[in-house]
Structure formats: structure tokens, C-alpha cells
Structure 1
């Protein structure tokens, strides 16, 4: 990449499989994946009422409600799970608004009595002018939504796999999907570690994460494909070096797009409401992990896989043999002279390996040079006057006189 007109290159892809710096990237990602799996199996995911069922109540109040006071009212019904209720306050054109997202109560009579008691206490403290929204979502509906979401995710992965295979190649498609799973798993694990609730807004954030992760990966892979067509024909550069060059060429672009995307997300994360903060937090994790995986996970995995192909394995062997030969010549100066002398002797002893026409021409030139210069036959010396006469006079009896031009 270029920084203020100067080219800067980093060694981001290891020259050998699972060698530094690839080893560092894989170790860091492996630690995050293990942490995410432990959190998911021990703590689980805090699903919202849209997925596990619940009760939504939105009311307009006479006086603004205090969130902590409302949570205190709901804590008295912890036996029904209302201590996990999401409390949100806001303003509308008509006055203050209170939103309650309560867990689903299976017993219909207990559900009715509990909700009536909660609304009665809220009305007594803040005054309920109007019930704006009241929805009840059963647990069966939530499970159905979750199943359809998983099916949609599977179809999405298959379609992406087919598209990248047709556009680039199969190995790039597989490594892009691996990076995508890597991003999603770590993001879900860290999100679950914070105890935040998963809502439809959070699902939208996760879908956006998938798009950003694939975008960064395809940008890098497209440059790898382009450089492969340009550089690999000579057979003097390994596939890992091509990938490293491609990553360096797109590094500044990846950093720029990632930073410009994260800045507004950080703003929402700091100044937004509770629902927007959950959305921004998931989006922040996903965008960051998408940029990271496209450079440090997908690209090294592609290089390791492609280096196993016979074509690039042969290039790697040639490069290693050439490097070993150069190392020997540098460490042994005498070997340089011996090798050079042997090369000259071989060229003199085997002229037939050269072009036939060039050899024949060289032989003829040597023969011509080897012949002694032939001396002209001696003739009797002619008189000086006669010699002068024969040499100075032409057929017209002398030199021609220049005619004067008439003016």
C-alpha cells in the first residue's frame, strides 16, 4: 500500500503453511472461538420475546416514567420472570411513552393477573392515558421464526458458495465461507458474553455483518485472482507471495472503508438508546471481525490450500533450490570461480547446443582471422614520371578544368 506517496509493505502471509505470521493470526482467532463456544454452552443466548414468546405493552403516560422505578415494580414479579423485562422510555407528540417487553407466561390466568397488576401500579404512579400497542407472542411462533431464520441462513450460504465459485474459484468460495462462520461465531459469542438480548434488530445487525464480511473478502480475492494471472506465468513467484502482495495492495482500502463504517456505529453506540445500542454493538463487532478475517484468516487459508497444488508446489521447490544455490555461492567464493570456469569449459566443449547458424558464422570468422594477410605480387618499379603520368592524367589528358559560370 502507499502512505503519502511512499510504498509500504508488510509480511502478512507466511511463506510456509502454519508458519509465522499465520501462526499468530490462527492462534488469536482460535482463542476467541474457544471463548465464544464456552460462553454459548454455559451462558446461552438471551433471546427476546420475538423468538421465545412474550408480551409487549406500549402505553402513553401523563408523567415521564423513571426506568429504575419501573424495574423495581417488575422485580416484585420475578417468580413469573418479569425481572427480565426490557424497559424503554421515550417521547411522542402526545407525551411520554413507556415500552415494556415482558417474558411469556404459559398459564393464561396467571399471565392476565400479572399484567393487570403491573399496569395498575404503573397507572397509579405515572397515569396511563392510552394503550398504544399490546401484543402477545407465543413460544411456538418464536420457535417457528427461529427455524425459518436458520433455513434462510443455510440457503444464503449455499447461494454465496455457488456465486463465488462461478465468479472466482471453488477454493476461494470455501475459504470465504470459513471466514464468514468465523466472524459470526465470535460475534455471537461476545454478544452473548455481555448478556444483551437478541431481538429482530439484532438479527438485522447479524445479516449486515454477513454482507460486510463477504465484501472485504471478495475485494481481496479479486485482486489475488488478477495478480495470479499476471505474475504466475513466469513461474518465479509463489502463490503465498502473490497473496501477500494482493493483501498489501488492498490493505489501505480495507482500513479506510472499515474506519469510515465504524465511526458512525461508535457514535450510535455512545449516544443511542438501549435498542440502538444493542444493534450498534453487534454491528461494531461484525464489521471489525469482517475486516480482520478477510486479511488474517481467509487469505492465509487460501494460500495454504493453493500451495498444495502441483503447479505452485513445483514453483516453491524451484525457489527453494535457487535460494539454496545462491546461499552456497555467497558463502563459498572459490566455488563461484570454479562454477564459472566449468561453465565456460562446457560452453567451449559443447558448441552444438548453440544455434547452428551462429556457430557456423563464428567458425568462418575464426578461419578468416587465422589466414595470414596476402602480400601483393611485386612488380618492377616504373619510372617516376611514367607513374605520375598514368596516375594523374585521365582519359581526357588531364584534370578537368572548372568552367566559369557566366553571369
Structure 2
């Protein structure tokens, strides 16, 4: 059934693709210049989370830390919790000194959670994160190739790469911390993005079974109709998860704020890429295939 919607995704997609390419290019340039702001999961350092028994001014805690001469650090204060990230791994003596002096000068009833990552562990976790992303992408290629065809698989993977790179570039531009929850967010984004893409691809495949494709214009109409026919489902799915991610970002603790922020960016990017990248790339590849013309058969003459 033809969609009566007036917006033409196919004919407007070059504009969106141009904008997407420019944003991604700027992000990749920034990524090449500044790199990523790795947390201690991927770089050596020490994370100290202090639970205090009373509200303490951030300035007082910062002055205390500056007097400890433990090197560069970042401090995040929340109600009854102080989160400190040191750029280098504290040794046992430094850790004990920090705890004892904090309890003596700031809060004698405070408790500590200390997480130390050395250089070798950080490098290993970087490798494992990259391997995880590659394995996930390979699994998606195999799944889509078996269920659909190679054009669908290539289009889906390009869209997923765009989503992952877009989130990574945003974190690079705004110098947001990249840690293990960030990798989990990227993998989750890939899952939701491929779900949106598969929904559209499945409708395209179903419509192809019954459509009479005689020209490239027929293919354009088929893709437009398929997108509109799945639009309500895609929007409902994204909005549902997006509301949950926004609530986590607003009301969640500091430890999950960057995870939820990555989810918000990735969910929007995934819905966008399914429509303007995956389906349009499939259409481009499909148009490279010659359209089969129906051959008219001559009626046999009766003797």
C-alpha cells in the first residue's frame, strides 16, 4: 500500500548525508588532534570514592587534596559523596596517608572505595574494548547477510559505524570521560540501532516481493513507503528508551551520567542513521543492479 506522506526521504537524503559527513569530519579531526579523554579504566590512575557523614564544601575538599601533593586530579562532589580521580596510580603508602589525613582533617566517619588501574591493565582493557566492538560488528554482518542479503549487511554496518563514531567524536569534542560504561553504552546503542535498521529492511524486503519494479523511480517510492510504514514503530521504540535514558541522566548518580548521556546521543543517532544512511545506502547499491525487464511472449499461431 502506497504511503500518502509528502516528505521524500530519498530525495532529501543527500542534504542530510552531507551534513552528517561534515559533522563526522569535524569530529574525526578533533579526535585526531585531541584524542579521547580516557578515564582510569583505559589509562593508569586511581579512583577514590569517599562517602562522608555530613555535607562538606567542595572547596574545602579541593584545598585538602591540593595539599597532599598527589599529582593531577579531578573532583566531583555529590551529596554525601566525593569522587576523586588521580592521574597516576597511588602506592600503598600514599593511599593510607590520604585516608588517615582525610579522616583527621575532614570527616572522621568517612569510608573509602579505592580502585587502582596500572598501565598494563589499562592497555589490556583498551584491547578488550576494541575486540568487543569488532566481534559485535562481525556478528551483525553475519546475521544480516544470512537473513537478508549482502547489500543489507553492508548498509547496516556502515550505519552502525556512523553511530559509534558519532558518539565517540562527541565525547572527544566535549572532552567527556571515556570509561568502561561508555563502551557498554556504545554496544547498547549498536543493538538499538540495528533493531531500527532491521525493521525498515524487513519492510523493504516484504514490499519488494509484491512490487513491480520497472525503474529507479519505483525503487525510490518503495524505500520511501517502507520508511513511512515503519515510522510509528521506530519512533515509539526510540522515545520509550530515550525517556528512560534522560531520567537516568537527570536523576541518576554521577557514575552513570556519562553512560546515559552516551545513550541519549546514540539513540538519536541510531534512529537517524537507519533512515538516512542504512536505507539510502541499500538503495544506492540496489540501483547498481540491472532492473529485470519483463519479456513479452508472442502468442503462438494456430495452424
Q: Could you tell me the TM-score, scaled by structure 2's length?
A: 0.87
Question: Does the alignment pair 1:286 with 2:283?
Answer: no
Determine which of 96, 103, 121 is the counterpart of 2:87.
103
Contact kept? 2:99, 2:112, Cα under 8 Å: no
- Whole-Å separation in 1 of the counterparts to 2:274 and 2:258: 25
Q: Deviation digits for residues 96-151 of structure 1, max 9, x if unmatched? A: 44443322248x5xx844x4554455324432335443332211101101101111
- Whole-Å separation in 1 of the counterparts to 2:163 and 2:274: 10
Q: Deviation digits for residues 162-207 of structure 1, max 9, x if unmatched? A: 1100001111001100000001111111122222211222221111
Question: Does the alignment pair 1:171 with 2:151?
Answer: yes
Determine which of 29, 42, 66 is the counterpart of 1:38.
29
Question: Quick one: structure 1 residues 130 and 140, their matched pair in 2 at CA, closer, same or farther if it must change by over 3 Å?
Answer: same
Q: Deviation digits for residues 221-274 of structure 1, max 9, x if unmatched? A: 011111011103x64663222112111111222222222221222233233332
Determine which of 209, 214, 234 is the counterpart of 2:189.
209
Determine which of 82, 107, 127 is the counterpart of 1:147.
127
Matches within 5 A, 1:84-163: 85-90=74-79, 96-105=80-89, 108=91, 112-113=93-94, 115=95, 118-129=98-109, 131-163=111-143
For these two proteins, the number of residue pairs brought into alignment is 299
Determine which of 28, 33, 37 is the counterpart of 2:19.
28
Question: Does the alignment pair 1:49 with 2:40?
Answer: yes
CA RMSD after TM alignment: 2.9
- Whole-Å separation in 1 of the counterparts to 2:179 and 2:163: 19
Q: Alignment partner of 1:80: what SS?
A: coil
Determine which of 223, 226, 250 is the counterpart of 1:243.
223
Determine which of 267, 270, 283 is the counterpart of 2:250.
270
Question: Does the alignment pair 1:301 with 2:281?
Answer: yes
Q: Could you tell me the TM-score, scaled by structure 1's length?
A: 0.66
Contact kept? 2:151, 2:282, Cα under 8 Å: yes
Question: Quick one: structure 1 residues 186 and 216, their matched pair in 2 at CA, closer, same or farther if it must change by over 3 Å?
Answer: same
- Whole-Å separation in 2 of the counterparts to 1:11 and 1:78: 61
1:74 paired residue number = 65
- Whole-Å separation in 2 of the counterparts to 1:66 and 1:134: 21
How far did residue 39 of structure 1 move?
1.7
- Whole-Å separation in 2 of the counterparts to 1:78 and 1:261: 44
Stretch moving more, 160-169 or 147-156: 147-156
Q: Alignment partner of 2:56: what SS?
A: coil
How far did residue 155 of structure 1 move?
1.6
How far did residue 152 of structure 1 move?
1.8
1:389 paired residue number = none
- Whole-Å separation in 1 of the counterparts to 2:7 and 2:219: 16
Question: Does the alignment pair 1:13 with 2:2?
Answer: no
Question: Does the alignment pair 1:186 with 2:166?
Answer: yes
Q: Alignment partner of 1:154: what SS?
A: helix
- Whole-Å separation in 1 of the counterparts to 2:133 and 2:107: 45
- Whole-Å separation in 1 of the counterparts to 2:26 and 2:77: 31
- Whole-Å separation in 1 of the counterparts to 2:33 and 2:237: 36
- Whole-Å separation in 1 of the counterparts to 2:210 and 2:63: 68
Q: Alignment partner of 2:9: what SS?
A: coil
- Whole-Å separation in 1 of the counterparts to 2:299 and 2:32: 73
